[in-house]
Amino acid sequence: MESAVLNYLKFEMTAPTAKCFLRRFVRAAQVINEAPSMQLECLANYIAELSLLEYSMLCYAPSLIAASAIFLAKYIILPSKRPWSSTLQHYTLYQPVDLIDCVKDLYRLCCNSNSSSLPAIREKYSQHKYKYVAKKLCPPSIPAEFFHSH
């Protein structure tokens, strides 16, 4: 049976990455009746790509990294508004409380990216075509109440 499945797939298989999940989650994160936010998409991709350089991030599932990158990107873009919604919860299957550790680790990576010895991702996302998202300032902290359902 294994052989039949592999032959049917023509041996074209891959492990899902955070990028696979990000495509879907970015659509869920867009507010209805609003123009799609390229800034949100670029910033979430930047944050997710930063996680690729960190061995310590391997403990998180790719879907969790993608969901956490969306949470953090929405927070950085609009710090006064709760970054998580019932729509995101529905499409990601994550509640804000599930994201705490991963968001905090991504936040640290994001805030410390200027001092990284591996600047390629930051340089890539500092360009016009990526909306200069790597140049965005990190807010000083993330309010704890944003991780609790309201």
* Residue 106 forms part of a structural domain: yes
| pLDDT bucket at 74, cuts 50 / 70 / 90 | very high
Mean model confidence pLDDT for the chain: 92
| pLDDT bucket at 33, cuts 50 / 70 / 90 | low
Tokens standing for 79? 């710090």
Residue 34, pLDDT above cutoff 80: no
Q: Which domain holds residue 84?
A: 17-147
| pLDDT bucket at 7, cuts 50 / 70 / 90 | very high
* Residue 40 forms part of a structural domain: yes
Give me the number of domains the chain comprises: 1
* Residue 5 forms part of a structural domain: no
| CA quadruple 94, 98, 100, 104: dihedral, nearest 10 | -60
CATH classification of the domain holding 129 = 1.10.472.10
> What are the tens digits of pLDDT across the range 79-101?
999 999 999 999 999 999 999 99
